[in-house]
Structure 1
Amino acid sequence: MDYSFKRGFKPDIERIRSVAAEEFASDIIEADGKLQFSYGAMKSICVRIEGKKLNVTTESDTSASDQVILDTNKRFRNFLEKATGYTAKQRLQMAKKEVGK
């Protein structure tokens, strides 16, 4: 999924890496301008910058416990907010606008 950056939030892979390291206690592998890591209920998280948007691809672990899923989702939402500058509510509104076009 693609996410826009709020004004003042640079589309810089090093900044995104530091935000990911802050939220996810995981080894982050950087290759070809992409960040790859896993955490909790997500088998893999792939983050890259395409143009002026943050592209995030995830693969979920369906066998994870409810507690792990809740923790992972909270951290993922926090990561997206710190990376893009938009809250979950704002991202939802923007996604609805995109669908309406």
Structure 2
Amino acid sequence: MQEYSLKRGFSPDILRVREVLGKNFPAEIKEENGKCTLNYGAFTQLTAWVDKKKLCVDTQSNKEAGDDIILDTNKRYRTFLEEATGYTAKERLAKAKKAVQGD
């Protein structure tokens, strides 16, 4: 499970997260107990929810997926994270490093 901070102005609202999921993953999204779950491409399951003003995402991968499917899924996932959190991959990496260092 990964936690991602939300940029100022990005509301910690599960409805907004669901909308961004739907925009990036053309799959059926199930919502239960404040968590959105879907199956798409190389993900056998992707679950997203908001906890303490952070986006939490848990993924399970299909280890037998082909390279094209994996590349497509990864691109969609990175786009989803950027649109949901407001941070680019580079900014998310910098924030994660800073959190590990404890600064």
TM-score normalised over the length of structure 2: 0.97
Listed as ranges, the matches of 1:48-63 within 5 Å are 48-63=49-64
Aligned to 2:78: 77
1: CA distance between counterparts of 2:53 and 2:12? Answer: 6
Displacement after TM superposition at 1:38 (Å): 1.1
Write the letter of the residue equivalent to 1:74: K
Aligned to 2:3: 2
* DSSP 3-state at the match of 2:27: coil
What are structure 2's unaligned runs of at least 5 residues?
none
Alignment of 1:42 with 2:49, yes or no, is: no
2: CA distance between counterparts of 1:47 and 1:16? Answer: 8
Displacement after TM superposition at 1:39 (Å): 0.7
Aligned to 2:13: 12
Aligned to 1:66: 67
* DSSP 3-state at the match of 1:27: coil
Residue by residue, what CA displacement relative to the aligned partner does 1:37-92 show, whole Å, maximum 9, x if unpaired? Answer: 01100110010100110000000111000000000000000000000000000000
| Runs of 4+ displaced beyond 2 Å | none
1: CA distance between counterparts of 2:71 and 2:18? Answer: 22
* DSSP 3-state at the match of 1:94: helix
What are structure 1's unaligned runs of at least 5 residues?
none
Aligned to 1:94: 95
RMSD over aligned CA atoms reads 0.5
Write the letter of the residue equivalent to 1:20: L
* DSSP 3-state at the match of 1:36: strand
TM-score normalised over the length of structure 1: 0.98
Residue correspondences, number: 101
Q: Identity across aligned pairs (percent)?
A: 51
